[in-house]
Amino acid sequence: MQISEDVRKKIMVFQKIEITEHHIYKRLAAVIKSPENAKIVAQIAEDEMRHYEGLKKYSGQDVAPNWFTMWRYYLISRLFGFTFGIKLMERTEKNVQKDYDQITAVVPEAATFKHEEEVHEKQLVGMLSEEGLRYAGSIVLGLNDALVELTGALAGLTLALQDVKLIALSGLITGIAASMSMAASEYLSTRSEKTDKHPVRAAVYTGIAYIGTVTLLVMPYLIFENYYLDLAIALTTAVLIIAVFNYYISVAQDVSFRERFLEMAGLSLSVATFSFIVGYFIRIWLGVEV
């Protein structure tokens, strides 16, 4: 079949995408510990190679994979979890899939490839499950409580005490005590529920998320002497934590990033503002001079 040079170039672009993803999935399948998940990813790799070979019939040329992209997604998957890495790749690919329509007149199979990319692979990826995602609820609990309580506490303490060492001391004591309390509560809650989550692991995830958040929020008070600057950095850090975590969850669990981010950020900042005002009036009421 005679095809124009422009269409040939577009076909070769799709070939590069398909062969690159084949190598990504093939490498991930070799290191995934779960036999079931490894089988899923290996099947996706075979599908990508089949797409590549189907397109090659029309371009008549072999195309080398994009090794930079391959290693980038491979490393992201190893560092942040296979589910996150694969779904991030699939999300990025959605814009490319729309371009398949440009070659369907010449490559009838392109419509099938597009359909498989949108439906079949999405179903396969949806079967993936990792411990970090199973315990996402526990992590959310630890992060959310730490962000809301600590941003509020630090805001109130900043205006009430106006001493970075005292604020840091109070924040750390409050945060550590609260993290132990939240971990214990999560343990009891998970134990009483009918779920496949292990109570101890759920408690550990909650506690670690809480302690990690407390450490990041209190850190500015241990570094800088200006307590208003410290509060601004702490609040900015809280928003960044919320953004990063919700982006991770939105990709891994296919949920809305904007809605979750605005809800958590709005709640944390609202509590901080309220606590800041309360700290001012409590200081006046108690007649504390600092």
Q: What is the pLDDT of residue 233?
A: 92
Q: What is the pLDDT of residue 257?
A: 82
Which string of DSSP letters, residue by residue, matches 155-183?
Answer: HHHHHHH--HHHHHHHHHHHHHHHHHHHH
C-alpha 284/C-alpha 289 separation (Å) is 8
Q: What is the pLDDT of residue 219?
A: 93
Residue 162 · residue 227 · CB < 8 Å: yes
Q: What is the pLDDT of residue 71?
A: 93
Give tens-digit pLDDT for 38-95.
888 888 889 889 889 988 888 888 999 999 999 999 998 888 777 778 778 877 666 5
Residue 240 · residue 213 · CB < 8 Å: no
C-alpha 133/C-alpha 81 separation (Å) is 9
Q: Which residues contact 186 (CB under 8 A, 6 or more apart)?
A: 138, 141, 142, 199, 202, 203, 205, 206, 207
Q: What is the pLDDT of residue 130?
A: 61
Q: What is the pLDDT of residue 131?
A: 57
Residue 83 · residue 133 · CB < 8 Å: yes
Positions in the chain whose pLDDT score sits under 50: none
Q: What is the pLDDT of residue 287?
A: 65
